[in-house]
A and B are shown apart, each in its own frame.
Chain A
Amino acid sequence: MDDHLTTSLALDVDHAFPDFVEATQHRLYGGLRMLVGDDAEDVAQETYLRAYRSLQQYPPARIRQLELRPWLWTIALNATRNRRRTKARRPLVLVDQLPDTPEPRAEPIDEALVAAIRSLPHAQGAAVVLHYVLGHTYAEVALILDRPEGTVKSDASRALATLRTKGLEA
């Protein structure tokens, strides 16, 4: 599935980028929703913008070698980490920066589970979402997080254990 996209992106980034967004947006957004909650849309946009700028600069040969989905998640998790850091520094939201109306959330999502995942350490949350929710192999998760496969595995199972003690994953 990625083959066709990588080939088109290598040929013409501007032409293929909309298809790339179309093919990846639901899972990217869904995974981010679990990791950053209401910031998911912003982080997804930032992720795509960074991805686009990189693709513009990569030579075609490099694009052809990309594992698109893991690569996108590497970018997304960097964006997530930066956002957590910024939020920790600036916890206050100014009143005039609040949106006029709250965005309606269409997708049904287990808020308790999301809250529990968000309270996990970053590496554990990322590992559990990437492997158990999005179905990436441990090898891919290791690639995305740039950590040894063994570490990723134990992060994921520790996270799962935490969720189970809260009665959240059957």
Chain B
Amino acid sequence: MKLSEFEFQAPPGLKEQTLIDAGLIDGFVSLASPVGMLNVAFNIRGVSAVAPSEAEFVAGFEQRFGRRVVAVDRLPNQLEVGVERTLETGRLAKLPVDWRGQTDFQRTVLEAAASIPTGEVRPYGWIAARIGRPTAVRAVGSALGQNPVPVVVACHRVVRTDGNLGEYRFGATMKAELLKAEGLDLRPNPGVLVANRKTGVVCYPSCRVARRIAPKHQHWLGSSRQALAAQYKPCERCQPLFGG
């Protein structure tokens, strides 16, 4: 065999992996979740996109982010455990997210949503108040709708004050399924807030504190005004909005 007669062929993934390492393109994997297969895209900054696994994913990603995305066998080591844990527990924890393309406002809204405990929900207005923009309720709604990493950042835990689940980028059904899968009771509540007559503490119905109130001590309230009138104290855990 002659040295000069060797024919070379780089392995198929070399170019793509190289471009991912350089941060020029993103990779994605398909992972099982309680609501079906999800595509999770990533780059050197962190998780960049999450969406239901479907044929239009690649085209949609490239149109929205202006970068190529290619299927890879597995997540990079530094993200694999974090993504697995986040999908399992519903908490973002220390999983890095690529926030490029998001305004400071959008990012603040999404980080507030990510602070809602798994299996609980909060109203849009709660997020607005929490980030110090109490009147920006509609803007909060549209920031959540632009969430590049749904499920991983739990925008599905933000609902309407009257208890209706509200809108979701991938449809109201998926929102309901996500919440059900994490243990939220989807049956309608008798009110928007519930107080413990014994302690005088008032909560959102899905708050873990509220779920421990014995039925005989429950006082269901139709509005925060009623809670204020009854001189109840807001729960320190779920921090319900008062007074409005």
Complex: chain B residue closest to A14, CB-CB: B24
Given known contacts A14-B24, A29-B14, A45-B14, A169 and B6 CB-to-CB distance under 8 angstroms: no
A149 within 8 A of partner (CB): no
Main secondary structure of the interface of B (DSSP, over half): loop
Is the Cβ of B15 less than 8 Å from the Cβ of A18?
yes
With an 8 Å Cβ cutoff, the count of chain A residues facing the other chain is 33
**Contact residues, B98-150 vs A (CB, 8 A):** none
CA distance A41 to B18 in the complex (A): 10
| Interface 9-residue window, one of A61-69, A78-86, A128-136 | A128-136
With an 8 Å Cβ cutoff, the count of chain B residues facing the other chain is 19
A95 within 8 A of partner (CB): no
Which residues from A are CB-within-8-Å of B21?
A: 45, 48-49
Which residues from B are CB-within-8-Å of A135?
A: 4
Is the Cβ of B4 less than 8 Å from the Cβ of A133?
yes
Main secondary structure of the interface of A (DSSP, over half): helix
A25 within 8 A of partner (CB): yes
**Of A31, A41, A113, A170, which contacts B14 at CB under 8 A?**
A41
B229 within 8 A of partner (CB): no
Is the Cβ of A21 less than 8 Å from the Cβ of B1?
no
Given known contacts A18-B24, A45-B21, A48-B21, A107 and B7 CB-to-CB distance under 8 angstroms: yes
Which residues from B are CB-within-8-Å of A110?
A: 1
Which residues from A are CB-within-8-Å of B3?
A: 113, 128, 132-133, 169
A22 within 8 A of partner (CB): yes
Given known contacts A14-B24, A103-B11, A49 and B6 CB-to-CB distance under 8 angstroms: no
A107 → chain B, closest Cβ, in Å?
A: 5
Complex: chain B residue closest to A160, CB-CB: B3
**Contact residues, B18-46 vs A (CB, 8 A):** 18-19, 21-22, 24-25
Given known contacts A113-B1, A133-B3, A169-B2, A49 and B8 CB-to-CB distance under 8 angstroms: no
Is the Cβ of B24 less than 8 Å from the Cβ of A170?
no
CA distance A132 to B2 in the complex (A): 9
Contact with B along A146-170 (1 / 0, CB 8 A): 0000000000000000000000111
List the interface of chain A (C-beta within 8 A of B): 14, 17-18, 21-22, 25-31, 33-34, 41, 44-45, 48-49, 52, 103, 106-107, 109-110, 113, 128, 132-133, 135, 168-170
Q: Beyond the given A21-B15, A34-B6, could you list 20 further A-B residue pairs with CB under 8 A, ordered by the A residue number?
A: A14-B24, A18-B24, A21-B19, A25-B14, A25-B15, A26-B8, A30-B6, A44-B10, A44-B18, A45-B21, A48-B18, A49-B21, A52-B24, A107-B8, A107-B9, A133-B3, A133-B4, A169-B2, A169-B3, A170-B2
